[in-house]
């Protein structure tokens, strides 16, 4: 497995172009590296063991998993991308479609991911307008391929990244491959101080189209309608569903009564207190 990490996370997204870091990472991952450009549809056949892009707040990670026989060729392509790629309009079009679909799932379409990314962005100081741009990708629509040449040269330069190699490499001369792909004497990485982001406590409101009232809680084992809103005028003792409250009551009752456990000696005991412990049945 080879993973290249760059200091090119989403915290460097300029205002009005939210999602730019994800788009730049996708272009770096899919642009041509000495051969024809690859698409997301090509990856399952080219990298059957796995490949993908992950953009966090501080870093962008480009990962490719290959077999031992594929490793020299994969490392050669990774080295070519590190040395620099040239974005084209076709690559930008495909990358933008992939990123817009992913950002839409992260901020709007999928509730499980939306809660994570939205709350994190609000705590870091984002406003609802910025969240709207993240989910829709409206700030990325007018960019053209030539706008990414300098971005790639700055953010994905060799001094700004780290190459990680892991796996069973028995029988592979890794040192010789690295010396061939990365000659010595190149620029050393510049010192880096992790930027500090203070989360701010508060209340944030994110409006969603078609949502007029809070939805019922989904943290319940029983089936509930995901589209049934909670009536605002209905008084409730708890925000949890009734079945969850009943389960909690049963658990508390069992903890007060004590539980029965079968011992290895085929004797059953009532576990209450040491003073009142007694044998109630012999198997």
Write the pLDDT tens digit of every residue in 89-101. 999 999 999 999 9
pLDDT at 197: 58
Asked if residue 215 belongs to a domain, the reply is no
Count CA atoms closer than 13 A to 273's CA, side-chain side. 3
Write down which residue in 157, 181, 205 finishes a domain.
181
Question: Can you tell me whether residue 262 is helix, strand or coil?
Answer: strand
Higher pLDDT, 115 or 282: 115
The CA distances from residue 199 to 100, 121, 151, 278, in Å, are 26, 9, 28, 55
Of 54-63, 127-136, 180-189, 228-237, give the lowest mean pLDDT range. Answer: 228-237
Asked if residue 73 belongs to a domain, the reply is yes
CATH of the domain at 117: 3.30.830.10
φ, ψ at 50 (rounded to 5°): 130, 150
Nearest to 267 by CA among 249, 283, 247, 278: 283
Give yes or no: residues 248 and 144 share one domain: no
Six token digits for residue 234: 């209905």
Give yes or no: residues 11 and 96 share one domain: yes
Give yes or no: residues 121 and 255 share one domain: no
Give yes or no: residues 121 and 252 share one domain: no
Strand partners, 270: 260
Asked if residue 248 belongs to a domain, the reply is yes
Helix ranges, the chain (H): 20-30, 43-46, 71-83, 89-104, 111-123, 128-136, 148-155, 174-181, 242-257
Give yes or no: residues 248 and 126 share one domain: no
Give yes or no: residues 108 and 30 share one domain: yes
Give yes or no: residues 154 and 33 share one domain: yes
> Are 84 and 153 within 8 A, CB to CB?
yes
Asked if residue 121 belongs to a domain, the reply is yes
Write down which residue in 136, 154, 181 finishes a domain.
181
pLDDT at 100: 92
pLDDT at 27: 92
Asked if residue 104 belongs to a domain, the reply is yes
Question: Can you tell me whether residue 52 is helix, strand or coil?
Answer: strand
φ, ψ at 237 (rounded to 5°): -85, -20
Write down which residue in 181, 198, 213 finishes a domain.
181
Give yes or no: residues 163 and 254 share one domain: no
The CA distances from residue 231 to 111, 228, 240, 241, in Å, are 21, 9, 14, 13
Six token digits for residue 132: 């709207």
Asked if residue 129 belongs to a domain, the reply is yes
Give yes or no: residues 137 and 67 share one domain: yes
pLDDT in tens, 226-279: 444 444 444 444 444 455 555 555 555 555 555 444 444 444 444 444 544 455
Asked if residue 216 belongs to a domain, the reply is no
Q: Cα separation of 144 and 100, whole Å?
A: 15
Question: How many domains does the chain fold into?
Answer: 2
Asked if residue 237 belongs to a domain, the reply is no
> Are 111 and 39 within 8 A, CB to CB?
no
Give yes or no: residues 46 and 177 share one domain: yes
Q: Cα separation of 134 and 118, whole Å?
A: 10
Give yes or no: residues 65 and 158 share one domain: yes
Which domain, by its residues, includes 272? 242-282
Six token digits for residue 28: 């770096």
Q: What share of the chain has pLDDT > 90, as a percent?
A: 14
Of 102-106, 154-158, 161-165, 246-250, give the lowest mean pLDDT range. Answer: 246-250
């Amino acid at each position: 497995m080879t993973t290249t990490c760059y200091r090119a996370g989403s915290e460097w997204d300029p205002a009005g172009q939210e999602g730019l870091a994800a788009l730049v990472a996708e272009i770096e991952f899919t642009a041509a590296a000495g051969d024809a450009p690859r698409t997301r549809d090509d990856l399952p056949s080219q990298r059957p063991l796995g490949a993908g892009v992950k953009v966090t707040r501080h870093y962008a990670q480009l990962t490719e998993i290959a077999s031992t026989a594929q490793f020299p060729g994969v490392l050669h392509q990774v080295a070519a991308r590190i040395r620099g790629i040239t974005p084209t309009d076709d690559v930008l079009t495909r990358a933008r479609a992939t990123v817009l679909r992913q950002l839409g799932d992260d901020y709007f379409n999928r509730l499980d991911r939306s809660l994570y990314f939205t709350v994190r962005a609000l705590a870091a100081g984002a406003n609802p307008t910025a969240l709207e741009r993240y989910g829709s990708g409206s700030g990325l629509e007018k960019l053209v391929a030539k706008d990414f040449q300098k971005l790639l040269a700055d953010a994905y330069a060799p001094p700004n990244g780290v190459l990680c190699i892991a796996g069973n490499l028995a029988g592979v001369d890794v040192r010789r491959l690295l010396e061939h792909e990365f000659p010595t004497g190149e620029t050393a990485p510049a010192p880096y101080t992790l930027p500090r982001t203070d989360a701010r406590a508060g209340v944030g409101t994110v409006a969603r189209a078609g949502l007029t009232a809070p939805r019922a809680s989904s943290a319940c084992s029983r089936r509930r309608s995901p589209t049934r809103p909670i009536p605002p005028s209905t008084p409730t003792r708890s925000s949890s569903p009734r079945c969850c409250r009943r389960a909690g009551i049963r658990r508390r009752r069992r903890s007060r009564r004590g539980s029965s456990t079968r011992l290895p000696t085929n004797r059953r005991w009532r576990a209450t207190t040491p003073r009142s412990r007694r044998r109630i049945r012999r198997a």
